[in-house]
Amino acid sequence: MTIYDIAREAGVAASTVSRVINNRPGIKKETRQKVQTLLKKYNYIPDAAARGLVMQSSRLVGILIVDIRVAHHTESAFVIEQELTRRGYCCITMGTGPRDEDKADYIRILEQRRVEGVILMGSMFETEAVQESIKKHLPRVPIVMVNGYLDLPNVSGVIVDEDTGVEKCVNLLFARGKSRLAFVLDSRSPANFRKQQGFCDGMRRHGVKEEDIWKYEMKESSVQGGYDITVQILRERPDIQGIIYTIDLVAVGGVRAAYDMGISVPDRLALIGIDNSIYGEICIPKLTTLDNRLQDLSESAATILREGLEGKVQSKKLMMFSEIIEREST
Amino acid sequence: MTIYDIAREAGVAASTVSRVINNRPGIKKETRQKVQTLLKKYNYIPDAAARGLVMQSSRLVGILIVDIRVAHHTESAFVIEQELTRRGYCCITMGTGPRDEDKADYIRILEQRRVEGVILMGSMFETEAVQESIKKHLPRVPIVMVNGYLDLPNVSGVIVDEDTGVEKCVNLLFARGKSRLAFVLDSRSPANFRKQQGFCDGMRRHGVKEEDIWKYEMKESSVQGGYDITVQILRERPDIQGIIYTIDLVAVGGVRAAYDMGISVPDRLALIGIDNSIYGEICIPKLTTLDNRLQDLSESAATILREGLEGKVQSKKLMMFSEIIEREST
DNA sequence: CTGTTAGCGCATTCAG
DNA sequence: CTGAATGCGCTAACAG
């Protein structure tokens, strides 16, 4: 069913049908009526591709997420999609997978679909390959990174100061009398390295010697992974007093490990996660966590992208501040 | 940058460029070389909309999810997207929101984008309005529902027998010596009503009188909501011995409520959730749960949709069997 | 082996 | 107020 089919049956020209569809003025009432009846009769819906072709605009926004199973990323995507959908854009979100070349390739796919704006979710997109792909394929399309940044004229970033946030966590633990601390990295994302940097800075500021700044890295970012690494840490360093994890999901595995080993939290061991996710509210004791304010981050990202879509200024770098939510594990 | 721009600079016709792009045979090696060099030079990527228009095919698959924040739905979407992307389709997933008219409207949006296949995630799409919208807008496009079904010639459903699954949960609790049981409904989806039905059937089969089949419904599907309703249940029925929740997320709220009220799990109170989600592994004690095998469900859904995309048979109804994973809460 | 022509479905001139 | 003609970027059929 095309406008021509409708036009023929209505005994008018295709352009008239087009005018009716787009509510253009200057159509006789009866003609408009007649056409509209037919449109309804055949459940006619214009082809977005054809319309986009002639209008030179797709009204499409791409949201790229490395892994849509990661809770805090879908939370963000939800907020952003809501806002942009309200503004008349059609948000298509896609999972790229962790491989760098695939992430870059999805930039190409977005060019192919002629998106008018892009959201990049998470610091995992802060890579050379992605940067090059943007330069190649989407050098003029407004792009906003959530918790990440790339130095390109059309890319904006909304980031949270997780480094100083983690430093504050270190301070909190010291204030609670815990000074022998470890840091657990769940995956090698730029954001996580920033967190680790904050940990090291905090420890140094407290006069801890370099060899007593304990850093651990895990194989798999999961509850089980958090469990395993925590057991290992407790074996290697029986006198440890506190652990900071890059992500709640992994920290709750640590809570369980402590429980199974008969180590009381927070008395003997204090635990802190990051993200202020639902996981931290489930476990017993409830997890102290660094709130990186993803909700606010996402809203800002949506706003900045909207401005970009409307042709306003680009390439902002917005910084937000994280804060500790102290619960039962410290 | 269009094929015409490339063609002009290469001194050939547009169709030649098109042939090179699509690896058509019968092009002189040098010509192909010359064109390819230019394609690379300008990072040329064909416009999917224009190509789709003339090829009468979009290679687009739509995945509709009511709320992308719901973990088990994104888990499913992840699996399906992986499979279909591997087959050369471009998956666009969108969050519809809970309102019935919005869900129906997204069917229209998918028609507008001329998708070639659709995944509907969850039983929430099992509504009159969605059914009508499919009849109106996508009567010929293969559609697969994950854990749901609509009786339409182009719609297939992969569903899990959660009703008999819940009945098995009832049996388990009776086997553990628990006979005074309650059922908690977290939201009014068809799947949840099926679960409740299974609960009632199971109770009746054990000779429980109708007035002793306790059913509760909550306002908000969340950990806190599960906490609140559990406190309420324990107040109203101090002698209760077991609770089955429609979803793990809510059940873990119940675990916490029991903990705070000093009620030992599972000795005095047994708790069961549904979904076999990560939440159940986090809480202490670990949650016994009904595994509805979403992974398998999703893989089957992807396979069926793929067959539909390839023009094979449609409108299957595939049933899978859930099974109890007993952990520490029963 | 390559160029010319036509048309996918639509919106937008420009005439009338 | 409406129709005919044109072109968006691309592929395919047909010539040559």
Q: How close B190 gets to chain A, by Cα (Å)?
A: 24
Q: How close B75 gets to chain A, by Cα (Å)?
A: 6
β-pair type (B323-325, B288-291):
antiparallel
Task: Decide if A3-46 and A58-161+294-322 have a common fold.
Answer: no
Determine the pLDDT at residue B130.
Answer: 98
Chain A residues whose CB is inside 8 A of the B58 CB are 49
Which whole-number Å values give the CA distances from B112 to A43, A44, A49, A149, A169, in the listed order? 11, 10, 8, 34, 50
Determine the pLDDT at residue A314.
Answer: 75
The size of the A-B interface in CB pairs under 8 A is 130
Q: Which residue of B lies nearest to A75 if distances are taken between CA atoms?
A: B69
B47 touches strand D (CB under 7 A): yes
* Cα B133 → chain centroid: 19
Give me the mean pLDDT over the B100-107 stretch: 96
- Indicate which of B68, B138, B224 best probes the interface with A, i.e. most A CBs within 10 Å of its own CB: B68
How far is Cα B328 from Cα A260, in angstroms, rounded to an integer? 13
Q: Is B140 exposed, middle or buried (0-12, 13-18, 19+ CB in 10 A)?
A: exposed
Determine the pLDDT at residue B315.
Answer: 85
Closest nucleotide to A26, Cα to C1': D1
**Contact check, Cβ <8 Å, A136/B43:** yes
The residue type of B33 is Q
Please, which residues have CB within 8 angstroms of residue B34's CB and are 6 or more apart in sequence? B10, B12
Determine the pLDDT at residue B268.
Answer: 97
- Indicate which of B113, B119, B227 best probes the interface with A, i.e. most A CBs within 10 Å of its own CB: B113
**Contact check, Cβ <8 Å, B252/A48:** no
Which residue's CA is nearest to the C1' of nucleotide D11? B54
* Cα B190 → chain centroid: 14
Chain B residues whose CB is inside 8 A of the A52 CB are 49
Provide the CATH number for the domain formed by B3-46 in this structure.
Answer: 1.10.260.40
Determine the pLDDT at residue A58.
Answer: 95
pLDDT interval class at B102 (50, 70, 90): very high
**Tens digits of per-residue pLDDT, A111-153?**
999 999 999 999 999 999 999 999 999 999 999 999 999 999 9
Which whole-number Å values give the CA distances from A124 to A100, A188, A241, in the listed order? 9, 9, 31
**Contact check, Cβ <8 Å, B282/A279:** yes
Which among B76, B136, B95, B88 has a CA at the least distance from the CA of B116?
Answer: B88
pLDDT at B311 over 90: no
Backbone angles phi, psi at A243, to 5 degrees: -135, 135
Q: Which residue of A lies nearest to B222 if distances are taken between CA atoms?
A: A278
How far is Cα B78 from Cα A65, in angstroms, rounded to an integer? 11
Give me the mean pLDDT over the B17-25 stretch: 94
Rg of the Cα atoms in chain A = 26
Q: Is B108 exposed, middle or buried (0-12, 13-18, 19+ CB in 10 A)?
A: middle
Tokens 């003997």 belong to residue:
A268
| A125 close to A103: Cβ distance less than 8 angstroms | yes
How far is Cα A75 from Cα B69, in angstroms, rounded to an integer? 6
How far is Cα A113 from Cα A130, in angstroms, rounded to an integer? 18
Residues in chain A: 330
How far is Cα B111 from Cα B48, in angstroms, rounded to an integer? 16
* CA neighbours closer than 13 Å in the CB half-sphere of residue B125: 34
Longest dimension (CA), chain A: 88
Determine the pLDDT at residue A246.
Answer: 98
Mark which residues 230-259 of B lie under 8 Å from A by CB: 249, 252-253, 255-256, 259
**Contact check, Cβ <8 Å, A81/B95:** yes
pLDDT interval class at B312 (50, 70, 90): confident
How far is Cα A265 from Cα A259, in angstroms, rounded to an integer? 8
A31 touches strand D (CB under 7 A): yes
Determine the pLDDT at residue B26.
Answer: 86
How far is Cα B61 from Cα B64, in angstroms, rounded to an integer? 10
Which among A197, A143, A144, A184 has a CA at the least distance from the CA of A272?
Answer: A184
Determine the pLDDT at residue A189.
Answer: 94
> What helix, strand, coil percent values describe chain A, rounded to 5?
50, 15, 35
Q: Is B141 left (phi over 0), alpha (psi -120 to 50) or beta?
A: beta
Which among B75, B115, B114, B112 has a CA at the least distance from the CA of B91?
Answer: B115
Mark which residues 28-67 of B lie under 8 Å from A by CB: 43, 45-50, 52-53, 58, 67
Give me the mean pLDDT over the B256-268 stretch: 95
Q: Is B112 on the interface with A (CB under 8 A)?
A: yes
- Domain boundaries, given as residue ranges, for chain A: 3-46, 58-161+294-322, 162-291
pLDDT at B88 over 90: no
Mark which residues 158-217 of A lie under 8 Å from B by CB: none
Give me the mean pLDDT over the B182-206 stretch: 97
| Structure tokens that stand for A124 in this block | 């995992």
Which among B193, B236, B192, B247 has a CA at the least distance from the CA of B214?
Answer: B236
**Tens digits of per-residue pLDDT, B138-191?**
999 999 999 999 999 999 999 999 999 999 999 999 999 999 999 999 999 999
Determine the pLDDT at residue B39.
Answer: 95
Which among B144, B133, B198, B212 has a CA at the least distance from the CA of B167?
Answer: B198
The residues of chain A scoring below 50 in pLDDT are none
Can you give the distance from the CA of residue B45 to the C1' of nucleotide C1 in angstroms?
25
Give me the mean pLDDT over the B123-146 stretch: 96
Chain A residues whose CB is inside 8 A of the B114 CB are 47-49
A175 touches strand D (CB under 7 A): no
Q: Which CATH architecture has domain A58-161+294-322?
A: 3-Layer(aba) Sandwich (3.40)
Q: Which residue of B lies nearest to A65 if distances are taken between CA atoms?
A: B78
| Structure tokens that stand for B299 in this block | 């893989």
**Contact check, Cβ <8 Å, A95/B78:** yes
Q: How close B63 gets to chain A, by Cα (Å)?
A: 10
H helix or E strand, kind and range, residue A288: strand A288-291
Which whole-number Å values give the CA distances from B280 to A252, B225, B241, B255, in the listed order? 12, 16, 19, 10
Can you give the distance from the CA of residue B19 to the C1' of nucleotide D15 in angstroms?
17
How far is Cα A287 from Cα B83, in angstroms, rounded to an integer? 36
CATH topology of domain B162-291: Rossmann fold (3.40.50)
B48 touches strand D (CB under 7 A): no
Determine the pLDDT at residue A151.
Answer: 95
B18 touches strand D (CB under 7 A): yes
